[in-house]
């Protein structure tokens, strides 16, 4: 797997609805991709309905072609009120290319990259001193 960098042509941040995430999960199950929830029911139990953000982390290549994109998924946790979660899911390249990107502006792209970076490394509420 190779890392998808900010300046790569296939870097993008996308917002998708819960229904699209369920479709991506089903496709990942059908294709036997490794980064996914155990089942659609498991996804439903962890992810609150609503929009989620996706950003590619790595690309899996076989015989010179991209087989899958491993993406970070930033979502609201089911039953967590306002708590968020982050996980990975593998996407088919055709599905990945079909997603509408929300990061066309370079300042927006940098802000979203920062949000994902903070989410991956952990965000804590802190008291101001």
At 60-90, the pLDDT tens digits run 998 889 999 999 999 999 987 778 999 999 9
Q: How confident is the model at residue 58, as a pLDDT? A: 95
Q: How confident is the model at residue 79, as a pLDDT? A: 86
Q: How confident is the model at residue 5, as a pLDDT? A: 92
Q: How confident is the model at residue 51, as a pLDDT? A: 94
At 16-63, the pLDDT tens digits run 999 999 999 999 999 999 999 999 999 999 999 999 999 999 999 988
Q: How confident is the model at residue 81, as a pLDDT? A: 76
Domain boundaries, the chain: 2-120
Helices (H), the chain: 18-31, 40-46, 93-98, 106-121
**93 pLDDT tier (thresholds 50, 70, 90):** very high
CA distance 74 to 65: 27
On whether the CB atoms of residues 50 and 82 are closer than 8 A, the answer is no
């Amino acid at each position: 797997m190779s890392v998808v960098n900010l300046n790569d042509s296939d870097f993008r941040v996308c917002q998708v609805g819960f229904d699209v995430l369920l479709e991506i999960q089903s496709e990942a199950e059908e294709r036997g991709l490794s980064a996914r929830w155990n089942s659609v029911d498991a996804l439903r139990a962890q992810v609150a309905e609503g929009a989620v953000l996706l950003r590619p982390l790595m690309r899996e290549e076989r015989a010179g072609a991209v087989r899958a994109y491993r993406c970070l998924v930033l979502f609201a946790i089911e039953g967590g009120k306002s708590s968020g979660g982050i996980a990975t899911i593998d996407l088919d390249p055709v599905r990945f290319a079909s997603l509408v990107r929300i990061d066309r502006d370079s300042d927006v792209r940098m802000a979203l990259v920062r949000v994902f970076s903070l989410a991956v490394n952990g965000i804590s509420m802190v008291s101001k001193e």
